Structure 1
Amino acid sequence: MRLTPGPAGDVDLDTVNLFDLDLYTSGDPHRIWDVMRDKAPVHHQVLPDGREFWSVTRYEDVCRVLGDHREFTSERGTVPTHLGTDDEAAGVLMTSTDPPRHTEVRRPLGSKLTARAVRSWEDSIRATIVRFLEPALDGEPYDLAERALLLPAMVTGPLLGIPAKDWEELVQLTAMVTAPTDRHFLVGHEAATLAISHHELVNYVRDWARSRRATGGEDDSLLHHLMSVRPGGEPLTDEEIALDGYSILLGANVTTPHTVSGTVQALIERPEQFEKAQADHSLIPNLVEEGLRWTSAACNFMRYAVDDVELDGGVIPARGAVVAWIGSANRDAAQFADPHTFDITRPNAKRQVAFGYGPHFCIGAPLARMTLRIFFEELLQRFGSLELAGDPEHLRSYFIAGMTHLPIVAQERRTP
């Protein structure tokens, strides 16, 4: 998805199609969201097949939709690909479950992913990122977006308990889930791609759990910890473990690569920001927050209204699907001054909602923040300059804002 909007132009909200995949590969959704926030903060769209949904684009409305499960439930599905057909795993899958069950499953897992808990992984993550960046130092074109797809698996694989031999296959499968029509991941047609990826991922975790039960093996991995979770006092079944493990794999793999490549692209296009960060590494944590705001890799989440809900700008009817556009909320001028400017010194960048908001706030946010901080520490320490070596290619997805290709050329930093 284009992250720097083009010139403002006329937008006909009556004909806008936010499910048009071409909008995210070659269009300019940010200019459409600008108009929606101003003129139609609650926007209704009916698709050609009769499915309908309401969009919220303002920061405060997005936070309300994601933050109040009593008004907006997750238990019919949380991603637009489920629009029109309730998620079969709703009420069981952690991401498609409301409190109290959601909290009962999430809390023990979250204890393994607090900022304090993940600090012990810093040295190993740094070593992984150094290995990841090393090939770029030879001065030859390096496709950051393509290579970055594997980076989260390299970082989180050991934490999850997944052997290195499986990382590449699992990364491919999670990409198929989030961008099933992208030519890099499409298998036959969209429905087949989704069915194959879901089946293979769920089976992988199910087989992993059954194998661990059969051998009695124990470790400190997150997936093994999932086997000890007891919502309502009862252990999770293998099927529930498989579904929640599937959710964890998606969360671990699908957003961080695009935050990396989108933020690097922003630094290349704004060399003064690159130089500012290179001169003062204390700015790196804020660079990470601004990168999260700027890229908004998880572009949206979906909920369903429980009853009629009135927002400033319209009413969402009971049982109506509502899409909360994260990418728009993070460019809301009511929250972020000059929102289409990438500024690593932005004072309130940490108010971004790239990790979501409310009960479903990303459980892996502390690990993601640490990984991104280390990535930019090492990049700024090692690279003296960065340039584009070709045109970016955008991911074909209205759910994940990202790139499949970002060829760059890096020059090693020379220290006096």
Structure 2
Amino acid sequence: MRLTPGPGRDIDLDGVDLFDLDLYTSGDPHPIWDVMRAKAPLHHQVLPDGRQFWSVTRYEDVRRVLSDHKEFTSERGTVPTHLGEDDAAAGVLMTSTDPPRHTEVRRPLGSKLTARAVKSWEDRIRGTIVRFLEPALDGETFDLAEKALLLPAMVTGPLLGIPEKDWEELVQLTAMVTAPSDPHFLVGNEAATLAISHHELVTYVKDWVRTRRAAGGEDDSLLHHLMSVRPGGAPLTDEEIALDGYSILLGANVTTPHTVSGTVQALIEHPEQFEKAAADLSLVPNLVEEGLRWTSAACNFMRYAVDDVDIAGGTIPARGAVVAWIGSANRDESQFPDPHTFDITRDNAKRQAAFGFGPHFCIGAPLARMTLRIFFEELLQRFGSIESAGEPQHLRSYFIAGMTHLPIVAQERRTP
């Protein structure tokens, strides 16, 4: 979707369809979210097939929905593609589970992903990113968005314990889960794409576990660590490990590439920001936070009201689906002055909501932040300029905001 809103226009919220894929592929949801925050911070929509949901678009309301699992449960599904049909893996799949089980599974994994723990991986990740960037320095057109889809697997594959031969297939499958209507990933129809990708990913992790059990021994990979997790004192079954491994693979692969390409696009459109960061690499951590705010790659998450909940001047009925629009929260003018300006010196950029809030705050946030910091440190030191080499092509998804193509031409930075 467009990251810089186009000219404002009269918007009739009664006619808005937030599940219109064209709104994100070729349209512009930001002016709609602007009006919703101002005039309808709790918005109700009924789809043509009778499914319905409520939307919150203000930062504090998004925070409340995602933080309070007693008011808003994750155990019926957390992504809009599940709307109308409860997630069959709810209560087991880590992303579709509430505390205390969610905490019991997450805590031991989180201990492997703290900022201190991932620091030991920095040199390995830097080497990976240097190799990734090298082909872009020959002056030829480089499709950053297309190439970046594989970057998270290049970084996290060794940490997860996944062999390189499987990276490309797993990236394709995770993209099919999160953007099942995009022509790059569509297989037959949306339902078939979701069914195939879910089955193949779960089967992959099951086979991985079976092979590791047969081989015996220990390793330090995150997937192997799942085999020792004991929520409630009992070990996870292979089915539970497979579903939680599926969660980890999705989290690892689907947002970072779009943060990379969207932030690079912003630097192309704002060359003064590129030069400012290149002149002072101490700005890179804040550039990363502003990039996360600006791109909001995980555009939304869904929850269900446990009971009637009063919020944003209205009421969500018990069992009602509510979509918390992270892309809107990150442009809330009450939190981020001049929110539609990309500013790498923004004082409070780290308040961005891209990693979510509450129990489901992104478990991989320290690794994602470090990976993005290294990426932009290396890019700014190596690239003297970056220019667009064609129109970007946006991902056909209302859940993940990103691009499938961003052709660029980069020139190597010449040292004096």
| Structure 1 counterpart of 2:53 | 53
What is the CA-CA distance between 1:217 and the residue it aligns to? 3.2
Map 1:259-408 → 2, pairs under 5 A = 259-408=259-408
TM norm structure 1: 1.00
Structure 2: which amino acid aligns with 1:249?
L
- Cα distance between partner residues in 2 of 1:319 and 1:37: 23
| Structure 2 counterpart of 1:188 | 188
Q: Match of 1:14, SS?
A: helix
Map 1:201-280 → 2, pairs under 5 A = 201-280=201-280
- Cα distance between partner residues in 1 of 2:314 and 2:190: 33
| Structure 2 counterpart of 1:2 | 2
- Cα distance between partner residues in 1 of 2:179 and 2:215: 36
Q: Match of 2:14, SS?
A: coil
Contact 2:142–2:407 at 8 Å: present in 1 too? yes
Q: Match of 2:15, SS?
A: coil
Structure 1: which amino acid aligns with 2:124?
S
Contact 2:71–2:307 at 8 Å: present in 1 too? yes
Q: Match of 1:384, SS?
A: strand
Structure 1: which amino acid aligns with 2:223?
L
| Structure 2 counterpart of 1:169 | 169
| Structure 1 counterpart of 2:157 | 157
Q: Match of 2:342, SS?
A: coil
What is the CA-CA distance between 1:313 and the residue it aligns to? 2.3
What is the CA-CA distance between 1:49 and the residue it aligns to? 0.2
What is the CA-CA distance between 1:214 and the residue it aligns to? 1.5
- Cα distance between partner residues in 2 of 1:103 and 1:74: 13
1:111 aligns with 2:115: no
Structure 1: which amino acid aligns with 2:415?
T
What is the CA-CA distance between 1:210 and the residue it aligns to? 1.1
- Cα distance between partner residues in 2 of 1:314 and 1:275: 46
- Cα distance between partner residues in 1 of 2:265 and 2:290: 13
For structure 1, the 5+ residue unaligned runs are none
- Cα distance between partner residues in 1 of 2:94 and 2:116: 23
* Aligned structure 1 segments of 4 or more residues deviating by more than 6 angstroms: none
1:127 aligns with 2:146: no
Structure 2: which amino acid aligns with 1:33?
W
1:199 aligns with 2:199: yes
What is the CA-CA distance between 1:322 and the residue it aligns to? 0.1
| Structure 2 counterpart of 1:142 | 142
Structure 2: which amino acid aligns with 1:4?
T
For structure 2, the 5+ residue unaligned runs are none
| Structure 1 counterpart of 2:29 | 29
Structure 2: which amino acid aligns with 1:210?
R
TM norm structure 2: 1.00
Q: Any idea what the Cα deviations from partners look like across 1:260-302, whole Å, max 9, x if unmatched?
A: 0000000000000000000000000000000000000000000
Q: Any idea what the Cα deviations from partners look like across 1:159-217, whole Å, max 9, x if unmatched?
A: 00000000000000000001111110011111111000000000000110111112213
Q: Match of 1:19, SS?
A: coil
RMSD: 0.4
- Cα distance between partner residues in 2 of 1:394 and 1:227: 38
Q: Match of 2:367, SS?
A: helix
Structure 2: which amino acid aligns with 1:10?
D
Q: Match of 1:11, SS?
A: coil
- Cα distance between partner residues in 2 of 1:212 and 1:11: 56
- Cα distance between partner residues in 2 of 1:217 and 1:250: 26
Q: Match of 2:112, SS?
A: coil
Paired residues, what number?
416
What is the CA-CA distance between 1:218 and the residue it aligns to? 1.7
Structure 2: which amino acid aligns with 1:385?
S
- Cα distance between partner residues in 2 of 1:392 and 1:114: 35
- Cα distance between partner residues in 1 of 2:46 and 2:59: 23
Structure 1: which amino acid aligns with 2:120?
S
Q: Any idea what the Cα deviations from partners look like across 1:141-163, whole Å, max 9, x if unmatched?
A: 00000000000000000000000
Q: Match of 1:323, SS?
A: strand
- Cα distance between partner residues in 1 of 2:249 and 2:148: 16
| Structure 1 counterpart of 2:88 | 88
| Structure 2 counterpart of 1:15 | 15
- Cα distance between partner residues in 2 of 1:374 and 1:265: 18
Contact 2:56–2:312 at 8 Å: present in 1 too? no
Q: Any idea what the Cα deviations from partners look like across 1:11-41, whole Å, max 9, x if unmatched?
A: 1100100000000001110110000000000
